[in-house]
Amino acid sequence: DAMVIQNPRYQVTQFGKPVTLSCSQTLNHNVMYWYQQKSSQAPKLLFHYYDKDFNNEADTPDNFQSRRPNTSFCFLDIRSPGLGDAAMYLCATSSQGNLGETQYFGPGTRLLVL
């Protein structure tokens, strides 16, 4: 089945230790998104790619970076995780990013910062 895969499902890191979360998709979608979701809150968009074009949300901290080496893969790098970065990180895709399109979400990676 075509899907969005996130690895790992759970990630524990230490304060200040860089961490990378990965996302892959078999849907061949052009657009990939990274969201941060804290407990009982709405998903917050960090950035998105339309193909190779990177779009950073204005309030995304510089501590967060992303790479998309090819259509299928997208990575979220947190350069120096702080306690406030503990959250669920959701990857999503959509075909062309058009208005009526559905987003397809992965299961998420829950990040714990010690």
Partner 1 sequence: AQSVTQLGSHVSVSEGALVLLRCNYSSSVPPYLFWYVQYPNQGLQLLLKYTTGATLVKGINGFEAEFKKSETSFHLTKPSAHMSDAAEYFCAVRGSSGGSYIPTFGRGTSLIVHP
Summarize as ranges the residues that interact with partner 1 (CB under 8 A). Answer: 4, 6, 9, 31, 33, 40-43, 45, 48, 50, 55, 57, 88, 90, 92, 97-103, 105-108, 110
Please say which residue, 13 or 103, places its beta carbon nearer to partner 1. Answer: 103
Paired strand residues for 73: 24
User: Which residues, 6+ apart, have CB-to-CB distance to 62 below 8 Å?
Assistant: none
Paired strand residues for 37: 88
User: CA 111 to CA 109: how far, in whole Å?
Assistant: 6
Please say which residue, 15 or 54, places its beta carbon nearer to partner 1. Answer: 54
Instruction: Give least dist CB 19 to partner 1, A.
Output: 19
Please say which residue, 38 or 67, places its beta carbon nearer to partner 1. Answer: 38
**CA distances to 12, 45, 50 from 16, in Å:** 12, 22, 30
Instruction: Give least dist CB 69 to partner 1, A.
Output: 20
